[in-house]
């Protein structure tokens, strides 16, 4: 067996940090009208910020991600971050050159303020008393963090799926801070189909008696409902082709069982994904984040990407052929809006079997696009 790269070099160690702001009475106003504070964001950084603070890249995670984008949290940490194939020294998002920031979103459950956090007013977890947050609110909170880090312009913003929505929201709300942007496998607004799947996932949680109207933090919580919600999610992240390739109609036991315990490999895969998810995710966070994604609409009241302030921002839009959650036509709509600004926009539809999840999987074409694009932006802006 050849030693893996990680054994040859010391693993890339990262530390999770926390930034707290909006202390009362300076609470942050949310889109829904409520005020929230204090707010904590969990974040991690990799690489070094250069002298003129021009090499910062903000990575926005998808709905169930967290701030742990790459590297390891300790020497004996078995699992690297969720985009370790993309981010690190010598990787497409090269941390020997760029300063990479990734924070857990507002409403999440991996260290940032969300429904499972303690409400200082009551001393108990918020649960359903947590106000409804939007993608815009998440980005508003991220801006506080970026200001706190003393960065006035981000060299690039990169994100896929719900992370891509945040990239687009940044472009619409703070165009002067966007040096360049790579939204991938994303959309300007959810289709009815995407909303429908999210609603079924939410109902799976809320139908579990253990959900108890969101007040379950003393006990086990709606494990079954959350697992089913995740199973639905996984179906939308794969594709017909990916499932045929991965499972076909293969059984995971020797013969048909003639009961309902699950005979097919695809069933056991979904059961496994559901179980795994319950151990790391909060059911209420899923409700809030899916709702924020459903509410997200950059085209309400005119397309908010059509903005002269974006005319000089280089964009790289990426979609994947087998993504049926946010199909390519939705990425082309983004391209079409940006072209109206006369923006510098590149677009590529990558042939991939992986479905919506393709952006997270190792892919040489994706690597080449991201590193080539960032290299150009870096030479234009930082050298």
Binding site for other proteins (CB under 8 A): 314, 316, 332, 335-337, 339-340, 342, 344-351, 365, 368-369, 371-373, 375-376, 379
- Does residue 35 have an active-site annotation? no
Q: Is 230 annotated as a binding residue?
A: yes
CB of 14 to other proteins, least distance (A): 28
Q: Is the Cβ–Cβ distance between 138 and 165 less than 8 Å?
A: no
CB of 369 to other proteins, least distance (A): 5
Catalytic residue among 161, 180, 285, 322: 161
**Cα distance from N-terminal residue to C-terminal residue, the chain:** 42
Q: Considering the complex, state which of residue 102 and residue 171 has its C-beta at the smaller distance from other proteins.
A: 171
Q: Considering the complex, state which of residue 263 and residue 323 has its C-beta at the smaller distance from other proteins.
A: 323
Q: Considering the complex, state which of residue 223 and residue 369 has its C-beta at the smaller distance from other proteins.
A: 369
Q: Considering the complex, state which of residue 19 and residue 347 has its C-beta at the smaller distance from other proteins.
A: 347
CB of 337 to other proteins, least distance (A): 8
CB of 349 to other proteins, least distance (A): 6
CA distance 216 to 203: 16
- Does residue 161 have an active-site annotation? yes
CB of 307 to other proteins, least distance (A): 13
Burial class from Cβ neighbours inside 10 Å (0-12, 13-18, 19+) for residue 268 reads middle
Catalytic residue among 61, 68, 224, 356: 356
CA distance 138 to 106: 5
- Does residue 323 have an active-site annotation? yes
Catalytic residue among 94, 137, 323, 333: 323
CB of 95 to other proteins, least distance (A): 20
Q: Is 280 annotated as a binding residue?
A: no
Q: Considering the complex, state which of residue 57 and residue 350 has its C-beta at the smaller distance from other proteins.
A: 350
Q: Considering the complex, state which of residue 104 and residue 319 has its C-beta at the smaller distance from other proteins.
A: 319
Residues 6 or more apart in contact with residue 239 via CB below 8 angstroms = 322, 323, 324, 353, 354, 355, 356
Binding residues for substrate: 230, 357
- What amino acid positions are annotated as catalytic residues? 161, 323, 356
Q: Residues within the annotated binding site?
A: 230, 357
């Amino acid at each position: 067996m050849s030693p893996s790269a990680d054994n040859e070099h010391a693993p890339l160690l990262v530390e999770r940090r926390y930034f707290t702001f909006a202390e009362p009475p300076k609470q942050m106003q949310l889109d829904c009208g409520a005020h929230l504070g204090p707010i904590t964001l969990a974040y991690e950084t990799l690489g070094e910020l250069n002298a003129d603070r021009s090499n910062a890249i903000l990575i926005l995670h998808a709905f169930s991600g967290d701030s742990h984008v790459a590297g390891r949290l300790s020497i004996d940490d078995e699992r690297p971050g969720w985009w370790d194939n993309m981010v690190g020294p010598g990787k497409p998002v090269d941390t020997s050159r760029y300063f990479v920031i990734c924070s857990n979103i507002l409403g999440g459950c991996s260290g940032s303020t969300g429904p499972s956090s303690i409400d200082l007013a009551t001393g108990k977890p918020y649960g359903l008393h947590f106000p409804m947050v939007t993608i815009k609110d998440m980005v508003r909170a991220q801006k506080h963090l970026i200001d706190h880090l003393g960065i006035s312009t981000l060299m690039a913003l990169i994100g896929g799926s719900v992370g891509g929505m945040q990239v687009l929201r940044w472009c619409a709300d703070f165009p002067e801070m966007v040096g360049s942007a790579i939204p991938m496998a994303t959309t300007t607004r959810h289709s009815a189909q995407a909303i429908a799947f999210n609603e079924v996932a939410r109902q799976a949680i809320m139908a579990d008696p253990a959900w108890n109207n969101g007040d379950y933090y003393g006990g086990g919580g709606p494990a079954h409902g959350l697992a089913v919600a995740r199973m639905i999610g996984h179906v939308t992240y794969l594709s017909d082709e990916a499932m045929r390739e991965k499972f076909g109609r293969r059984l995971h036991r020797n013969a048909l069982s003639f009961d309902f315990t699950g005979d097919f490999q695809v069933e056991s895969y979904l059961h496994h994904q559901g179980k795994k998810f319950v151990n790391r995710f909060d059911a209420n966070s899923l409700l809030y984040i899916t709702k924020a994604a459903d509410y997200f609409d950059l085209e309400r009241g005119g397309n908010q990407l059509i903005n002269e302030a974006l005319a000089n921002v280089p964009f790289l839009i990426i979609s994947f052929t087998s993504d049926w959650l946010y199909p390519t036509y939705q990425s082309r709509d983004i391209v079409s809006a940006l072209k109206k600004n006369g923006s510098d926009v590149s677009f590529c539809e990558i042939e991939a079997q992986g479905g919506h999840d393709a952006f997270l999987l190792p892919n040489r074409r994706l690597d080449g696009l991201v590193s080539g694009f960032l290299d150009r932006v870096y030479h234009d802006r930082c050298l």
